Amino acid sequence: MSQAMMHVVDPSTGESDPAVIRQVFDRQLATALQWRESTAAERIARLKKLRDAMMARREDFYAAFQKDYSKPSSEVEGTEFMPVLDEIRHAIGSLKKWMRPTKVWPTMATAMTSAWIEYQPRGRSLIIAPWNFPLNLCFGPMVSALAAGNTVILKPSEMTPAVSVVMAEIIAAIFPPEEVALFEGSLPTSQVLLDLPFDHIFFTGSPAVGKVVMAAAAKNLTSVTLELGGKSPVILDETADLRLAAEALMWGKFTNCGQTCVAPDHVFVHESVKDGFVAECRKVLAERYGATPAEQRKSPHFSRVINQRHTQRVAALLQEAQAKGANLLTGGDIDIATCYIAPTLIDQVPLDASIMNEEIFGPVLPLIAYRDVDAVVRQINAGHKPLALYIWSRNKARTNQILQKTSSGGVAINHCVLHYAHGNLPFGGVNNSGIGNAHGHFGFKAFSHERAVLKSGPIMMAKMFFPPYTDTKKKLIRLTVDSLRWPSLF
């Protein structure tokens, strides 16, 4: 079976053939077993093939992203190419160290033994990617899966068909299907894939769909990594550098038209600096996208919402908030036909407005004035644990207080979004915002089974626990248990 045959979808449904999917899944088993013994050099060679193929299709990706949702080429470089290529570079440079067994000290109960942890490929892995960063969030996890020695089946989003075609052509050119395969389609194709007993599933998307994926994985006791989302708040206090905050937050929010899982969702800004912060935000938006609504519509630096349905959804959130009393600070220009919503700031938003309770995932940013930071912390803690939390403050004591009193997948202090790109940090959520971590060594471990290995020493201390239990053995056992009250030596 050739890759070209595999990627033909039914033109009447847009779905991949379920029989072909199952056949490829079955064929990957032999490869997965063989790859348990794969060397670092073999895995690195696969990563280099992927890197070189991506670079060769750079211009094709520019065109595909422009076609799917008018994404500027510089954003393609910074938010799609850079993260994947950095993952590859990191893995190539670190893989030998990551694969090396880790020795561990014996505990009191296991004296006179030696032990280590070895990292085995989980096996056949499924990666289901979303539409907002279709290259980054499809190929990025694949880098970790290949580095860990797994076979891969990829399911990109049907909402970015042009990008999916380029990715499918790359996969077909460099991997046989029994190693890596890509299947296009929508919900029916996903359902076929989720029915299969994969060894690991890596899903990026909404918490609602994440629950569906987790339920499907539970039927086969498949391990999962769920990279989800949520409402990532910003706390900006009276000591913050307002210009720098405006520059960073307007970048983090409006890159990719706000369609970023770690985008600032809403800003709690101290009432004493709110007007100054709004003024700085207006200046930044005018400098980047234009000073008038007409200039902003024509800006080549601003992406579009992915499709008309999502444009209508974000527009409805904004319109409902305004109907409930929200005040439009800047932006608000909408054109459903072209999937355009201007960079928009609003304030005075009632807490019962939908925009304060749903992940916005679009270019609208509510600002909430506050006096008491403890009240802000209580409001954050009353909701789901967010994927990201952003703190803008030059007060170290207050920053530490917020860190201690809140929970989130990640935090950035006097910055935003950039923690996602830090390859030595775990990227992931907590509870509703995700399960497990990705990137760098953490991504390698996500696709690896950490196998515990213990080896007996020259003296088998455990014999004292073997029956029959003589009086002497009873005394030794009791003495050993009592000794566990002593402080640990290592």
Beta bridge partners of 451: 118
261 assigned to active site: yes
Q: Which one, of 329, 319, 355, 326, lies nearest residue 274 by Cα?
A: 329
Angle at 346 between CA 340 and CA 314, to 5 degrees: 35
Q: Which one, of 129, 367, 336, 361, lies nearest residue 226 by Cα?
A: 129
80 assigned to active site: no
Determine which one of 138, 178, 184, 261 is catalytic.
Answer: 261
Distance CA 169, CA 173 (A): 6
What's at 106, amino acid-wise?
A: P
List, in sequence order, the alpha helices (H) in 353-455.
373-382, 396-405, 440-446
Angle at 193 between CA 88 and CA 11, to 5 degrees: 100
Q: Which one, of 155, 132, 129, 144, lies nearest residue 88 by Cα?
A: 144
Query: 67 burial class (0-12, 13-18, 19+ CB within 10 angstroms)?
Result: middle
Phi first, then psi, for residue 450 (nearest 5°) are -85, 100
* Pairing between β-strand 334-335 and β-strand 340-341 as defined by DSSP bridges: antiparallel
Distance CA 152, CA 141 (A): 10
Determine which one of 227, 281, 339, 416 is catalytic.
Answer: 227
Q: Which residues belong to the active site?
A: 227, 261
